[in-house]
Amino acid sequence: MVIDSHVHFGKAMEWDLKGIDLINAFKKYSIDFGIVSNIEGAEFGHEFDKIENDEDQLKVNKKTLDLVKENPEKLKGLFWIKPNTNKYSDEIKDFLIENKKFFCGLKAHPYHSKMKFTTENYRPYIKLAEELDIPFAVHTAEDENSKVKYLYETAKENPKVNFIAVHMGLGTDNQEAIEYISKLDNLYGDTTWVSKENVLEAVKKCGSKKIMFGTDAIIDGTNTYEKYLTMFEYLHENLSEEDFENVFRYNARRLFDL
Ligand SMILES: [Zn+2]
């Protein structure tokens, strides 16, 4: 049983990711379950002067709800928030409570929201995550808005919420992220775009309960999983059975309450 904690669908920027292709990729590569979010939550594209998507965040996430409802045995959703161009409203809380069966966390993308995670706009969502007892997955990377340092500071201030440092600092050598994850009980890492060697190092330094398998499928098309096959093999060879199972299954199950 393999759970992918980080998969996508939706149409934004250069991507047009179809739910059916994601499900077919699961079948082809023996992925049993995925935590999915809609990339249409991206507020700004690669060019920051232009708003990528001005659709209301509830509307964006209703598409996630539809996809999850079509594939309840394969998917659960993350609510992708739009802290920059949208305002928080209690409708979001009501939506998540009503659809508790289909959503299991929140997702933020400081790069595509053009906003550091320490910014006040994120606070009502963090409060919501605490209230609903759901984790918060946050894109982390080398750019000014996505630095893992901001996530670390926020996680430290909010010990009751579990946070996932997606990518463990994309474009970095991952060392800073690994250090932060090892220091905080409520900060986790995912393996998306991380080298297999660095994933192994993260597991050794942070413990196998802190690192989760994630891929960004199907951002590179249906063959996104191809490049993770060597990671899979490498970790199978270099980790104990228990540690391996934690990374590829049990951590996601526990954190997302699957
Ligand atoms: Zn992603």
Q: pLDDT at position 51, please?
A: 83
Q: For residues 80 and 67, give the distance between their C-alpha atoms in angstroms, rounded to a whole number.
A: 14
CATH architecture of 3-255: Alpha-Beta Barrel (3.20)
What pLDDT, in 10s, does the model give residues 107-149? 999 999 999 999 999 999 999 999 999 999 999 999 999 999 9
Nearest Cα to Cα of residue 188 among 174, 168, 204, 172: 168
What pLDDT, in 10s, does the model give residues 177-233? 999 999 999 999 999 999 999 999 999 999 999 999 999 999 998 889 998 999 999
Separation of 197 CA from ligand 1 center, angstroms? 21
Separation of 159 CA from ligand 1 center, angstroms? 24
In the chain, domain spans: 3-255
What pLDDT, in 10s, does the model give residues 5-14? 999 999 999 9
Q: Identify the helix (H) or strand (E) that includes residue 151.
A: helix 148-157
Separation of 32 CA from ligand 1 center, angstroms? 19
CB 207 within 8 A of CB 23: no
Residue 48 scores a pLDDT above 90 = no
Separation of 81 CA from ligand 1 center, angstroms? 13
Separation of 109 CA from ligand 1 center, angstroms? 8
Separation of 215 CA from ligand 1 center, angstroms? 8
CB 34 within 8 A of CB 86: no
Separation of 82 CA from ligand 1 center, angstroms? 15
Separation of 238 CA from ligand 1 center, angstroms? 26
